[in-house]
């Protein structure tokens, strides 16, 4: 089966399945006890060099459809490990068909208090399978034999480690199959994901726990290898509370296009397309750009000098934000922006979301920002924790 057919079959099945679950919820036919039901809204598919992976992501109160996203081709070990493609010391090797793992945390031995500080969703699953080894704590905890055909993970956590750094995959539903699978075999495998009357691939959460679940899903996404910036933006568009609560705003615009009407410089581009415009209380908009977690950089700053400077990846983001700000300084552009999208910009805060706790040292960033006082840099882990804190504060006030 080629990857295009895998995408087609997978998307149709899960859209049909989720629509049925949504209809059952609206009809009052679902029982979730005292918990609320949250739906995925992104289907991410990945070609893993001999394996195909489909992962359902997101946590929305209503089913709004599944947005199809693709991550870059990579090895299956890298997909599960998040750091690299080594798989020398797995917890187990998957062999055969229709393997199902659910409500498990899989990891090497590690400092789980540190894991929970960064990943609040870690506390949601109490059953842990831990590979204890004095010699090795890195590498994928899951490997696949030559005879492997299909497996699924439901409500699982995979904790990965390299040195003192941890990453966590918070999995709602993930299906992996051999690329040699036939269409009929794939459809049958998917149809068996629901066990009897038990619904699969939706979250069931207690009141107040929604933000931790959503943050866990976002951390899974931005810490995954090969994820595009547009996929991160799509997640935020589909989960508006992230921005509204983190930045204390009531409204934002996602990827709106504005034509260049006026400029004193030659422009290759005919328009600008800011990732996010965040409306302030005074009615004007701040400008936000999304980069990735920047895995290949150990630090967002250049540590070879006492005068900290950002690396080129960050400067690209800063340059992009400055271009957006410049756009709105021209009268014709400003008039066009207000006419087409109702956007007004004055003394905007320029926000760059990039990196993670692994490569974003707050002191170094603060020092490097002395050269760019108009720029605010927030790493993705801090962004998630801002969201969770704001969501909990909001819940206490209601």
Q: Give the separation between CA 354 and CA 232, rounded to whole angstroms.
A: 11
Specify the pLDDT at position 128. Answer: 87
pLDDT higher than threshold 90 for residue 341: yes
**Domain total in the chain:** 2
Q: Is residue 331 situated within a structural domain?
A: yes
**Residues 28-47, mean pLDDT to the nearest whole number:** 91
pLDDT per residue over 198-239, tens digit each? Answer: 899 999 998 888 999 999 999 999 999 889 999 999 999 999
Sort 196 into a burial class: Cβ within 10 Å, 0-12 / 13-18 / 19+. exposed
Residues 195 and 267 in one domain: no
Q: Is residue 322 part of a domain?
A: yes
Same domain, 43 and 121: yes
Query: Which pLDDT score is estimated for 100?
Result: 95
In this structure, the answer to whether residues 267 and 199 fall within a common structural domain is no
Q: Are residue 196 and residue 259 in the same domain, yes or no?
A: no
Co-location of 319 and 378 in the same domain: yes
Residues 121 and 78 in one domain: yes
Question: Is 253 found in the same domain as 197?
Answer: no
Identify the domain boundary among 160, 186, 209: 209
| 169: in domain | yes
Cβ-based burial of 337 (10 A; exposed 0-12, middle 13-18, buried ≥19) = buried
Compute the distance between CA of residue 77 and CA of residue 101 in angstroms, rounded to an integer.
17
What is the residue range of 333's domain?
A: 240-397
The number of helix segments (H) and strand segments (E) in the chain equals: 11, 21
**Are residues 62 and 115 both part of a single domain?**
yes
Residue 345 lies in a domain: yes
Indicate whether 204 and 145 sit together in one domain.
Answer: yes
Q: Closest Cα to residue 102, out of 205, 22, 193?
A: 193
Q: Does residue 82 lie in a domain region?
A: yes
Instruction: Assess whether 204 and 246 both reside in one domain.
Output: no
From the CB of residue 372, how many other CB atoms can be counted at a distance below 10 Å? 17
Q: Are residues 105 and 152 in the same domain?
A: yes
**Residue 175: strand pairing partners:** 54, 152
**At which of 209, 225, 249 does a domain end?**
209
Question: Do the Cβ atoms of 332 and 263 come closer than 8 Å?
Answer: no
Helical (H) or strand (E) element with 353? strand 350-353
Mean pLDDT of the chain: 92
* CATH number of the domain that residue 371 is part of: 3.40.1350
Asked, for residue 77, whether it belongs to a domain, the answer is yes
Tell me if 122 is assigned to some domain. Answer: yes
User: By percentage, how much of the chain surpasses pLDDT 90?
Assistant: 75
How is residue 121 annotated by DSSP?
A: G
pLDDT, tens digit (0-9, with 9 covering 90-100), for 57-84 = 999 999 999 999 999 999 998 899 888 7
Q: Does pLDDT of 267 surpass 90?
A: no
In this predicted structure, the answer to whether residue 87 has a pLDDT above a threshold of 60 is no
Over residues 41-51, the mean pLDDT reads 96
- Residue pLDDT, tens place only, 277-313: 999 999 999 999 999 999 889 999 986 666 789 999 9
Same domain, 42 and 187: yes
Is 138 a domain residue?
yes
């Amino acid at each position: 089966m080629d990857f295009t057919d895998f995408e087609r079959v997978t998307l149709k099945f899960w859209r049909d399945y989720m629509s049925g679950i949504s209809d059952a919820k609206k009809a009052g036919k679902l029982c979730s006890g005292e918990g609320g039901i949250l739906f995925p809204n992104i289907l991410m598919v990945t070609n893993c060099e001999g394996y195909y992976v489909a992962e359902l992501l997101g946590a929305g109160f209503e089913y709004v459809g599944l947005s199809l996203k693709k991550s870059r081709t990579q090895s299956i070990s890298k997909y599960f490990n998040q750091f690299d493609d080594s798989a020398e010391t797995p917890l187990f090797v998957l062999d055969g068909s229709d393997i199902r793992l659910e409500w498990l945390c899989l990891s090497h031995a590690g400092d789980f208090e540190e894991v929970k500080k960064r990943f609040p969703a870690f506390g949601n699953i109490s059953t842990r399978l831990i590979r204890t080894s004095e010699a090795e704590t890195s590498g994928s905890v899951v490997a696949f034999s030559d005879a492997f055909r299909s497996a699924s993970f439901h409500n699982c956590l995979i904790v990965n480690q390299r040195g003192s750094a941890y990453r966590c995959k918070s999995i709602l539903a993930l299906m992996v199959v051999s690329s040699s699978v036939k269409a009929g075999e794939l459809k049958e495998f998917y149809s068996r994901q629901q066990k009897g009357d038990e619904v699969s691939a939706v979250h069931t959460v207690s009141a107040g726990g929604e933000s931790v679940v959503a943050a866990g899903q976002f951390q899974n996404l931005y810490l995954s290898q090969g994820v595009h910036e547009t996929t991160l933006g799509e997640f935020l568009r589909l989960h508006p509370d992230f921005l509204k609560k983190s930045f204390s705003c009531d409204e934002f615009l996602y990827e709106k296009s504005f034509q260049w009407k006026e400029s004193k410089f030659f422009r290759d581009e005919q328009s600008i397309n800011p990732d996010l415009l965040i409306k302030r209380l005074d009615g004007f908009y701040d400008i936000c750009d999304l980069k990735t977690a920047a895995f290949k950089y150990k630090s967002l700053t250049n540590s070879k000098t006492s005068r900290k400077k950002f690396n080129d990846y960050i400067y690209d983001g800063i340059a992009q934000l400055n271009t957006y700000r410049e756009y709105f300084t021209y009268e014709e552009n400003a008039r066009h922006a207000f006419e087409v999208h109702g956007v007004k910009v004055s003394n905007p805060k320029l926000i760059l979301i990039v990196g993670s706790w692994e490569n974003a040292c707050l002191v170094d960033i603060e020092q490097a920002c002395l050269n760019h006082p108009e720029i605010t840099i927030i790493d993705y882990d801090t962004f998630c924790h801002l969201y969770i804190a704001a969501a909990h504060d909001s819940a206490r006030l209601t």
